[in-house]
């Protein structure tokens, strides 16, 4: 499964949550249906230092409901934000933070919940491998951030978490 398909699946999974700002779901759907934009998407936990950033929060989180910043401009409307994203150069990333309640590293258990009974075993294995790989990548990114902050406790906690995933 390619990275665009994963990004679509991840967005679809997130849309199962009830969003704090329901109109934001349209924006996510438009992004998921646009291969050019999906190619530019990078999922992240922190958009504070990103120029091109989108945060959408589900109910039950402490995150702000909707933040969109494209080329230094802030957008409060989904349609305006989408238009701005379409005008980005193709080599610029769009950093997206999807905040959901009790956020696990990645929704590994959702693979089992969302897969229909008639899907073959190979597809299930591929999806499980992808979720595990992505969880590992997310932890590695968090480790980098912990090292940048010189946060030793967080570093050791994340290393332990990485070892559990890899075993």
pLDDT recorded at residue 112 = 40
What percentage of the chain carries pLDDT values higher than 90?
A: 36
pLDDT recorded at residue 73 = 92
User: Can you give the pTM of this predicted structure?
Assistant: 0.60
pLDDT in tens, 3-60: 888 899 999 989 988 898 888 999 999 999 999 999 999 999 889 889 899 999 999 8
Both tokens assigned to 101? 């309640």
Domains of the chain: 3-99 (3.40.1530.30), 108-166 (no CATH)
Q: What angle do CA 96, 98, 101 make, to 5 degrees?
A: 160
Q: Identify whether the C-beta of residue 60 lies closer than 8 Å to the C-beta of residue 101.
A: yes
**What count of Cα atoms within 13 Å lies in the side-chain half-sphere of residue 104?**
12
**Res 165 pLDDT > 90:** no
pLDDT in tens, 82-95: 999 999 999 999 99
């Amino acid at each position: 499964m390619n990275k665009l398909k994963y990004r679509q699946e991840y967005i679809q999974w997130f849309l199962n949550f009830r969003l704090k700002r329901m109109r934001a779901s349209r924006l996510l759907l438009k992004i998921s249906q646009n291969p050019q934009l999906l190619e530019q998407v990078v999922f992240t936990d922190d958009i504070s230092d990103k120029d091109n950033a989108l945060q959408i929060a589900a109910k039950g989180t402490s995150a702000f409901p909707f933040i969109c910043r494209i080329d230094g401009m802030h957008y409060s409307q989904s349609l305006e934000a989408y238009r701005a994203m379409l005008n980005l150069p193709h080599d610029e990333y769009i950093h997206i933070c999807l905040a959901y309640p009790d956020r696990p590293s990645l929704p590994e258990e959702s693979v089992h919940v969302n897969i229909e009974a008639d899907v073959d075993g190979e597809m299930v294995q591929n999806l499980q491998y992808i979720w595990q790989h992505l969880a590992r990548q997310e932890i590695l990114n968090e480790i980098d951030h912990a090292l940048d902050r010189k946060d030793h406790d967080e570093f050791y906690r994340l290393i332990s978490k990485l070892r559990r995933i890899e075993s």
